[in-house]
Amino acid sequence: MNLAKMIDHTLLKPNLNQVEVQKAIEEAKYYGFYALCVAPMWVAYAAENLRNSKVKVCTVIGFPLGANTSETKAYEAKEAILNGADEVDMVINIAALKSGHYKKVVTDIQVVVEAVKGTAKVKVIIETGLLTDKEKIKTCELVKQAKADFIKTSTGFVNGGANAKDITLIRKVVGVDMGIKASGKIFTADRALAMIKAGANRIGTSAGVAILKNLESVKFNDEEDFKRY
């Protein structure tokens, strides 16, 4: 397993500057991360600086609340592709979900899927920290119905984050064909490996460099270690 190739190196804090973005770009190229995930305003810059590398450019849509209109999300997604994004991580309409407006939830995802069809993968952030287990199951079913490529656990802006129990539940609902991106409070190699063991095939983290440096020291054979996450 090449862990670097499963990591979306993430830089989404609101107070970052261009020096930090450039540093993340160089890290992504040096360590061979699958993608660099940046805010929409940095997509064109990242795409230009990653042009001759294998690192993909990922950005976020409707971030971090998911409360934008569907039309706004679709426009954001189209603009991101024009600016060079290869993948978009959109936040689900959490208010619609909590209100039981399931058709609206599906439509909200579908307009983004259609906006980037044939050009980019769509990951849907469901914000597991705000959902009950019953809501998580229902949400996974809706995302699958909308034909997105991935389910992503969290924005990292609310309580909670990725945990192995949720990843196992999501994988059980969506089956083997849909991707799962574990994101939120994944700062160590053992935690990243726990997510992969549970069924994730992508990790979103701002600590990718530290995780890779820590990887050789991890001994992850005990089932109790797995259960901790």
The helix/strand/coil state of 188 is coil
- Distance, in Å, from the CA atom of 98 to the CA atom of 104, rounded to the nearest integer, reads 11
83 and 47 Cβ atoms separated by less than 8 Å:
yes
Residue 193 tokens, joined: 């490996």
The residues annotated with a catalytic role in the active site are: 89, 152, 181
Residue 49 tokens, joined: 């600086």
- Distance, in Å, from the CA atom of 131 to the CA atom of 113, rounded to the nearest integer, reads 23
Q: Which residue from 33, 61, 55 is spatially nearest to 206, judged by alpha carbons? A: 33
